Amino acid sequence: MDRAETAAKIAALIEPFNKKGVAISDATTFAGDLEFDSLTVMDFVAAIEDDFDIIISMNQQAEIENYGQLIDAVVKLQG
């Protein structure tokens, strides 16, 4: 799956968590723009892991601050 397909799939997964209807771009931050709390992050990560059949380690999660970084990490994990 290429980056564009991965981005589209993640965009669909993020919708239920995007309570304020924020426009999503590569620079959109989870904590700042989307105002995700720790529980929301856990639920969102679980949805991504299930959908893509990958595991995102806690160390990787700590490094991912925005949507673009998440897409790149998922693409890389799919290897």
Give the count of alpha carbons within 13 A of 57, CB side only. 5
Q: Tens digit of pLDDT for each residue in 10-34?
A: 999 999 999 999 999 999 999 999 9
Rounded Cα distance, 23 and 64, in Å: 18
What is the pTM assigned to this prediction?
0.93
**Cα-based angle 10, 61, 70 (whole degrees, multiple of 5):** 30
Report whether CATH 1.10.1200.10 matches the domain 3-78.
Answer: yes
pLDDT digits (tens, 9 = 90+) for 42-66: 999 999 999 999 999 999 999 999 9
Q: What residues does 66 pair with on adjacent strands?
A: 29
- Neighbouring CB atoms inside 10 A of 42's CB total 12
Please report, for the chain, the start and end positions of each structural domain, with discontinuous segments joined by +.
3-78
Q: Residue 54: which residues within 8 A CB-CB, separation 6 or more? A: 48, 74, 77, 78
